[in-house]
Amino acid sequence: MFTVVIVGRPNVGKSTLFNRMINSEDKIKAITDKLPGVTRDINYAVARWNNKEFRVVDTGGFFPEEKADDIIQKQMLEQIEIAISEADLIIHLLDSKEGLLPYDVETAKKLRQTGKEILWVVNKIDDPSKLTRIYDFYGIGTENLIPISAITGYGFEELMDKIVERIPDSQQLKLEDEDIPKIAIVGRPNVGKSTIVNALLGKKRMIVSPIPGTTRDSIDAVCTYYGKKYLLIDTAGIKRLSYYKKEISQESYVEKLAYFKALRSIERADVVVLVIDASEGIVNQDQKIAGIVAEKQKGLVLLINKWDLIPKDERDKKVKFFEDEIKRKLWFVNYAPYLTVSAIDKTRLTKLFPLIDKILNDYSKRVTTSELNKLFSEKISNVVMASRGKELKFYYITQVSIKPPTFVVFVNDQSAVKQHHIKFIEKLLREAFHFKFSPISIKVKQRK
């Protein structure tokens, strides 16, 4: 697919333009804020204009004042270079309020060396009265400047027209994202989520560092395993909920946006991979995140990462420890399989995909009404249950939807149905139809 990459200094409006280009209903598709350097990772999405579509890429800003040995800054520059190498067209976004700076000229020189086609776009020109700001930017070495306002939309249509007229008909291939299983990678800060995604992708797409909170955005990337595609969604680390209730500062505001994007990523996902730090065990926050996944009724894999930190002579004992911990602390997601891995060594990481496929199979499974009611007639319908002196009869059951498999049970008295009745029916369904790895939803209705 034709790829457009947006580059420029921090805080020139790259993410705001990205959001407008993809026409996102999610107001924080890419997190935007006045704090320089909010966007750290590469963010991909599909934009559509005049019946054409293209991939648009939001990149982190350049930090010329940062030290060369800064680990995050070095990885940001590596990511931008990767994005540019994949580009068919580059948008060099400039800030009309700050004017042309020496670093803009230096960046333009580097971009020209790539041999890629470049659109020079001057942002923050909110209306025609601000057009005089554009004159300063002819010093960058081009007469083809495009004035726009990413916030108000001034000049936006002209920019989009110029992009789509450059798209060859041969590159009009559609991304069938809706057909690709969506896998959200979630967990506490610094448990290795981005390292796992990078290892699965085989190249650096997410910034990795020992600094908690490095990933602030939810980043999509397509991964292929034995010819099958998966959409991996790397998310910001989810901190204790009390953290998000503290007084709002500029930095914590961005963290809160990242938190809500992580929740949105869970909602989008078919399967959620909860990454747990093997060296710390299952902590309270892991339980809370698993609770969010259970509430959203998503498929779940427990990925116990950093297995390389466990001494080899203690690993058998540690496996037994985690088996007991999962039964004790994560009993409410007892359908979730677990896997011990090392993102650093890439140990057992490829076993993740067969597990995901098993979950997806169960998550999308349908059972015919005749099969369901055969089970009911054998196990339930002839049994009269009592609840607080009331006679409770189960008449029949049907499956109404998938993802998750959802069943409706019809009874004579809805108020008499208790949680242990639901659990009994769930157990029957799991055993009879092999719903081993998927959550199940059971609703009760009273027959008139």
**Per-residue buried b or exposed e for 246-262, using 16+ beta carbons within 10 Å of the residue's own CB:** eeeeeeeebbebbbebb
Residue 271, class by beta-carbon neighbours within 10 Å (0-12 exposed, 13-18 middle, 19+ buried)? buried
pLDDT at 175: 43
- Kindly report whether the global pTM for this prediction surpasses the value 0.75: no
pLDDT at 413: 84
Contact (CB, 8 A) for 115 and 145: no
Contact (CB, 8 A) for 57 and 190: no
Contact (CB, 8 A) for 279 and 259: no
Contacts of residue 43, Cβ cutoff 8 Å, sequence gap at least 6: 15, 18, 29, 30, 57, 58, 59, 217, 219, 220
Contact (CB, 8 A) for 159 and 244: no
pLDDT at 176: 41
Taking the chain (448 residues) in runs of 10, the rounded mean pLDDT of each run is: 87 89 58 45 78 84 50 58 81 92 87 90 90 87 91 93 87 54 89 86 53 49 83 73 47 55 80 95 92 93 95 94 95 95 91 95 95 87 60 88 94 86 92 94 88
Side-chain-side CA neighbours of 421 within 13 Å: the count stands at: 22
pLDDT at 404: 94
Q: Which domains does the chain have, with CATH numbers?
A: 3-171 (3.40.50.300), 177-363 (3.40.50.300), 369-446 (3.30.300.20)
The phi and psi torsions of 284 (rounded to 5 degrees) equal: -55, -40
Using H for helix, E for strand and C for coil, what is the string for the chain?
CCEEEEECCCCCCHHHHHHHHHCCCCCCCCCCCCCCCCCCCCEEEEEEECCEEEEEEECCCCCCCCCCCCHHHHHHHHHHHHHHHCCCEEEEEEECCCCCCHHHHHHHHHHHHCCCEEEEEEECCCCHHHHHHHHHHHHHCCCCEEECCCCCCCCHHHHHHHHHCCCCHHHCCCCCHHHCCEEEEEECCCCCHHHHHHHHHCCCCCCCCCCCCCCCCCEEEEEEECCEEEEEEECCCCCCHHHHHCCCCHHHHHHHHHHHHHHHHHHHCCEEEEEEECCCCCCHHHHHHHHHHHHHCCEEEEEEECHHHCCHHHHHHHHHHHHHHHHHHCHHHCCCCEEECECCCCECHHHHHHHHHHHHHHHCCCCCHHHHHHHHHHHCCCCCEEECCEEECEEEEEEEECCCCEEEEEECCHHHCCHHHHHHHHHHHHHHHCCCCCCCEEEEEECC
Structure tokens at 103: 């670093």
